[in-house]
Chains A and B, each alone.
Chain A
């Protein structure tokens, strides 16, 4: 029940296109959903996060869409750039508990081509 399933495993998008990464969860206690961006040899960097009281959150070219009834959330990267080429991880946490353990998806390797 702690799993977070992420798809696709890899994604190739042309420069200027839209990149879409999807995640699904099972644990209804999850109430915090961050996305992390990781470059090779680096630690994950927090990109954007959402809580289930809103259905969408936008920060610059990055948008999270959240569907509570379907237990799904997705990351949209508009106007994708070569510098966005990285591995993206969705995660989930139940912050109402006594700790904030993050459960991660398996990652999506994004390549933005010229």
Chain B
């Protein structure tokens, strides 16, 4: 049984560009949450998707947007990248409100 998968593993962008990160949830899971983890910090909640809708959002600007597809996979989009967006982006999946299981993350570097 494959766990949560994320792509790409690493990504380098320049300031002002846009990026799309992808996540496939664990089999049987219908909820996807996205977190940003800066170096040496705990993960910070960005938003959560359930039934293709954003169910809850953390304290992140509108530059951060997402989508969930009918097969429960999800995308995180970040527009107008700036240096402070450099971080490990984590996707977690769950069965509705149950325990969240994290993927390996996408390391985004903004130059």
Q: A: which residues have CB within 8 A of B?
A: 6, 34, 36, 41-46, 49, 89, 91, 95, 97-107
Contact = CB atoms under 8 A, between A and B. Distances in A.
Given A101-B58, A106-B42, A49 B90 contact: no
Contacts of A104: 42-44
Given A42-B104, A43-B102, A99 B97 contact: yes
Interface of B: 4, 31, 33, 35, 40-45, 48, 50, 55-56, 58, 90, 92, 94, 97-105
Given A100-B48, A101-B48, A101-B58, 13 more contacts: A34-B99, A42-B104, A43-B102, A43-B104, A43-B105, A44-B102, A89-B42, A99-B48, A100-B98, A101-B33, A101-B45, A103-B45, A107-B41
Contact of B102 (A36, A97, A106): A36
A43 B45 contact: no
Contact of B90 (A43, A98, A101): A43
Contacts of A91: 42
Contact of A95 (B33, B97, B101, B103): B97
A36 B102 CA distance: 10
27 contacts: A6-B42, A34-B99, A36-B102, A42-B104, A43-B90, A43-B103, A44-B43, A44-B90, A44-B102, A46-B102, A49-B99, A89-B43, A91-B42, A98-B55, A98-B56, A99-B56, A100-B33, A100-B94, A100-B98, A100-B100, A101-B56, A102-B33, A102-B45, A102-B92, A102-B100, A106-B41, A107-B41
